[in-house]
Structure 1
Amino acid sequence: MWSVTASTTMAASGNCLLSEGLRRRTILNRGELSGPTISGEISRLIFHPYDRGIVFLNKGRRYHLSPEIVSVRDHKVSIGPVGMVEHLLAVLLGLKIDCILVEVLGRELPIFDGSAREYFRSLTGLGTYELDQPQRVFPLDEMELTYRGSRISVIPGSRLEITIIYDPHHPKLPRQNLSFSSITNLVWARTFAFVQPDDPRLTNYRFGLGITREGIRPPPRSPDEPIRHKLLDLIGDLYTLGQPFSGTILAYNPNHRLNIGLVRLQHQKGYNR
């Protein structure tokens, strides 16, 4: 069951604020990237410089990044028909890119090794530049949302601060907390799943970590790799707002449905200001 507590005090008038002195940013060069998807197919992406927000191009149709067309299916976030967008979006936010055209030749974005490292390498290699357009920042409203024991709270503010607490009550994953400082500290963290010790996927787990009560396979890249990936996912999910945003966010055991639920409510309040 959902539970929502929202403040009646608005963070700002209008849908968004002009960020003084900051400009919108896109990539400098066109680039391509391809890799395996969770479905086992190979997906190809073409990144294009753009000046009208974040747009996904798939089968001749353009899908402007917006909460109005976001969905969560099979533990993946989709924009329109394009699935698995959260890792790319996290990197875009971390690199302060708010204008790009992503051409998707496939049904979903690549998963690679379960991390966002390939997206980071590709986009940083293309370079970025500022457009002659002021950056618009969405000011988050005060709100608390709970869902099946998970919770996410927002306090309005002029800066972006994100902290998560992850406590899965699992013998191999102790309670941890982590705050967002730089996307470079998160892009290498792989996705993970809780599985049984006899799960056949553990013998060749290509797309992340398999966690059982007996251990983690393959070995984690750091003891806090799971919470780092949780934070990566949260950042990508929040960027489905479609533009940069500001506020202090505290999340306890976040998940895609909770994160996207918050995005939708923030979007609705923004348009009712």
Structure 2
Amino acid sequence: MAADAFQDRAFQHTLRAPALFAGVGVHTGAYTRVDVRPAPVDHGIVFVRTDVIDRDNRVPATGGAVCKTQLGTVIGNAAGVTVSTIEHLMAAFVMLGVDNAVVELDGPEMPIMDGSSEPFVRILDRAGRRAQDAARRYIEILDVIEVVDGDKRAALVPAERFEMAFEIRFPTAVIGTQAIDMVMDGPTFRRELADCRTFGFAHEVEALRAMGLARGGSLENAVVIEGDRILNPEGLRRPDEFVRHKALDAIGDLYVLGMPIVGRFEGSLAGHAINNQLVRALLARPAAWRVKTFVEDLAEAV
């Protein structure tokens, strides 16, 4: 194995320099500025609401911090401070190998950018990464962990690497039944999933806005479907962009565990809610997984 590849897998990483960007939140419609900064070893991913000054404004991205999963993942702290729609940035963090970072933002919701993870990938690439003097920890799945809710299912299954399998079904000819099954690593994520956008249905928009959601949604940051046609003039980026985006969401939702996964994710009609149920099911079954490092792997192989 090349030295760079070993360092990438074996050691924790943070950013080499701050990464700055801004945009509107898809649900709040609020314009938010974000500054992603380097963080020390074992810090994890922590969001900081700089617009909140009267109470604790730090919100660590952890499994127990997820407080809402309607059309996005929302995390909160004991002081009631929340950060919404973190999943696309979290997917970029884990698949680019960023273990530790401080995400400072001056509003309640992460910018949606173009509805995918690709803008975050570009921004993080510009900032660069640096290795840190500590081993990267992984969650190795030892036994099947499964959550079923009606026709929805999410599971983590033992595997030698991170694999992603997902299936969706929607009663429109634009989507129908779509499925993917692939080994997931950084290059594969960049090539196959990162540019796949969130999507929604035109007939739901007014109801969502009445609920205080989708206020920042537009054809610039989401694929919008009306009946059996796509309203976006440019069309789809991929024929199965919908299921690929669902897989992207699941990757981000799983990273609230704070460590990459060695195992296979299987999702059927799954969304943010059942993804977080799976995270909590894993945390409740410590015998079904273990924390390991790449260095331990090498030692066992010798």
TM range (shorter): 0.7 to 0.9
1:213 aligns with 2:213: no
1:11 equivalent in structure 2: none
Aligned 8 A contact 1:168 1:253 in 2: no
1:53 equivalent in structure 2: 44
1:132 equivalent in structure 2: 133
Deviations 1:106-163, CA, capped at 9 Å, x for gaps: 1110012212221111001111121110111122341221123111222123421111
Greater shift after overlay, 210-219 or 28-37?
A: 210-219
Q: CA deviation at 1:20?
A: 12
- Point out 4+ residue stretches in structure 1 off by more than 6 angstroms: 197-201
CA, structure 1 residues 148+199, in 2 after alignment: closer, same or farther (shift >3 Å)?
same
Once residues 172 and 48 of structure 1 are traced to their aligned partners in structure 2, the CA distance between those partners, rounded to angstroms, is 40
1:268 aligns with 2:284: yes
Q: 2:170 aligns with which of 168, 171, 176?
A: 168
Once residues 107 and 220 of structure 2 are traced to their aligned partners in structure 1, the CA distance between those partners, rounded to angstroms, is 20
Q: 2:67 aligns with which of 54, 68, 71?
A: 71
For normalisation by structure 2, the TM-score amounts to 0.77
**AA aligned opposite 2:32:** S
Q: 1:145 aligns with which of 139, 144, 147?
A: 147
For normalisation by structure 1, the TM-score amounts to 0.85
Once residues 48 and 102 of structure 1 are traced to their aligned partners in structure 2, the CA distance between those partners, rounded to angstroms, is 6
Q: CA deviation at 1:84?
A: 0.6
**AA aligned opposite 1:232:** L
1:3 equivalent in structure 2: none
Q: 2:18 aligns with which of 8, 18, 30?
A: 30
Q: CA deviation at 1:48?
A: 0.8
CA, structure 1 residues 153+271, in 2 after alignment: closer, same or farther (shift >3 Å)?
closer
Greater shift after overlay, 75-84 or 177-186?
A: 177-186
Once residues 160 and 117 of structure 1 are traced to their aligned partners in structure 2, the CA distance between those partners, rounded to angstroms, is 20
CA RMSD of aligned residues (A): 2.6
**AA aligned opposite 1:93:** V
1:15 equivalent in structure 2: none
Once residues 228 and 159 of structure 2 are traced to their aligned partners in structure 1, the CA distance between those partners, rounded to angstroms, is 43
Once residues 67 and 236 of structure 2 are traced to their aligned partners in structure 1, the CA distance between those partners, rounded to angstroms, is 29
Greater shift after overlay, 177-186 or 144-153?
A: 177-186
Once residues 102 and 96 of structure 2 are traced to their aligned partners in structure 1, the CA distance between those partners, rounded to angstroms, is 15
**AA aligned opposite 1:45:** V
SS in 2 for 1:121: helix
Q: CA deviation at 1:271?
A: 8.3
Q: 1:179 aligns with which of 178, 181, 186?
A: 181
Deviations 1:138-193, CA, capped at 9 Å, x for gaps: 22341221123111222123421111112223222132211343221212111111
1:12 equivalent in structure 2: none
SS in 2 for 1:175: strand
Give the share of equivalent positions with the same residue, in percent: 28
Q: CA deviation at 1:21?
A: 6.8
Q: CA deviation at 1:265?
A: 1.0
Q: How many residues align structurally?
A: 254
Aligned 8 A contact 1:76 1:84 in 2: yes
Once residues 200 and 8 of structure 2 are traced to their aligned partners in structure 1, the CA distance between those partners, rounded to angstroms, is 42
Aligned 8 A contact 1:197 1:212 in 2: no
Unaligned runs of 5+ in 2: 1-6, 77-81, 208-213, 290-302
More helix by share: 2
Aligned 8 A contact 2:11 2:135 in 1: yes
Greater shift after overlay, 44-53 or 166-175?
A: 166-175
2:111 equivalent in structure 1: 110
